[in-house]
Structure 1
Amino acid sequence: MLLKGSCHCQSVNFEVESYTPYPFMRCYCSICRKTAGGGGYAINIMGQAETLKVNGMNHVQVYHAILGKDKHGKPKTSTGRRHFCKHCGSYLWIFDPSWKEWVYPFASAIDTPLPKPPERIHMMLDFAASWCEIPTGKNQIHFARYPEESIEEWHKRHGLYDEQV
């Protein structure tokens, strides 16, 4: 599926091919919660990095999340590169050189209508804000940290993996 996305001010537009386009996983870690907006979580989709095309890259800035401090008190940063618009602050995608073949657009930046997932995974709940309401009930699955299942495995299990990309 071709995903098209943009920032709020339209300075940046991008597209990427994805065979895992269902926005099913909500991450409540402090990095996602604080960088993605006011909902208390972020939703990332996986796309093929080699297909990422960006118009307006000169308007994009990169943030490396701070993971803590080393023994000398200096910040330790993530290898993940969180790309955002330097004008309006919209978060666009994450790229991590540890997984060079993938790019992870924020579902909130995607303009293409996305398919509705049959279930939702809520992960990193150990780090959720106390005010954040975590949905419960049918088709709501919870993890204190990371689930064992990958984005690709989840799509395959539900018969939603699109190998035509």
Structure 2
Amino acid sequence: MPKLEGSCHCQAVRFSVVSHTPQPYQRCYCSICRKTQGGGGYAINLAADAHTLEIEGREHVQVYHARGTEPHGDQPSTTERHFCRHCASYLFVYEPSEPRLVHPFASAIDTPLPTPPARTHIRLMDKAVWVEVEDTPEDMLYGDYPDLSIEEWHRRSGLYQED
């Protein structure tokens, strides 16, 4: 099971986490990912074991709670999007209702990540019109969220990495 190392752009924050599911296969085009990540109109999150998360420079980390998301309406979401307060690099997402998981952004990972055999494009209903989806016949396209979790996708694909 690989240990992933990550950091922000200015290096004020460095982190490590262990992941059974290191394939950066899922591109999210939701308005939050699109507007906060700024690259390609999508963001890629991985899944990792929250209890293994180690953060150096935690005092430089800020948390963003998106508003205007379902089912919260105009209230802040419970999902925590952690970023560096100096350079604004997004680092990882944590959802308190899933305490065993943390979702590092692939863009923050410094460890070489494997190339996925196919990609899953999600929340295409929120995709900006100027964004072209680079997909292959093997890719899966979803207007909303798929039923398959990151762990389930890795297991089904034979890419889940055991202890």
Matches of 2:69 and 2:5 in 1, distance apart? 34
Matches of 1:104 and 1:133 in 2, distance apart? 25
Contact 2:32 2:66 in 1 (8 A): yes
1:75 Cα deviation from its structure 2 partner: 2.7
Give the partner amino acid of 2:103: Y
Q: Is 1:5 the equivalent of 2:3?
A: no
The total of aligned residue pairs comes to: 161
1:38 Cα deviation from its structure 2 partner: 2.8
Q: Is 1:153 the equivalent of 2:152?
A: yes
Give the partner amino acid of 1:37: G
Q: Compare 150-159 and 130-139 and name the one that shifted more.
A: 130-139
Q: After the TM superposition, which parts of structure 1 deviate over 6 Å for at least 4 consecutive aligned residues? A: none
Contact 1:69 1:76 in 2 (8 A): no
> Which residue in 1 is equivalent to 2:75?
76
Deviation by residue 1:96-129 (Cα, 9 ceiling, x = unmatched): 1010000000000000000110110000000000
Contact 1:93 1:103 in 2 (8 A): yes
TM-score, normalising length: structure 2: 0.95
Matches of 1:136 and 1:17 in 2, distance apart? 29
Q: Let me know the Cα RMSD of the aligned residues.
A: 1.5
Q: Which runs of 5+ in 2 are unaligned?
A: none
Q: Compare 5-14 and 37-46 and name the one that shifted more.
A: 37-46
Instruction: Give 3-state SS (helix, strand or coil) of 1:22's partner.
Output: coil
Aligned ranges for residues 31-110 of structure 1 at < 5 Å? 31-68=32-69, 75-110=74-109
Matches of 1:126 and 1:69 in 2, distance apart? 14
Q: Which runs of 5+ in 1 are unaligned?
A: none
Matches of 1:141 and 1:21 in 2, distance apart? 18
> Which residue in 1 is equivalent to 2:117?
118
Change (3 A) 1:136 1:101: same
Change (3 A) 1:69 1:155: closer
Matches of 2:69 and 2:146 in 1, distance apart? 22
> Which residue in 1 is equivalent to 2:23?
22
Give the partner amino acid of 2:18: E
Matches of 2:144 and 2:113 in 1, distance apart? 26
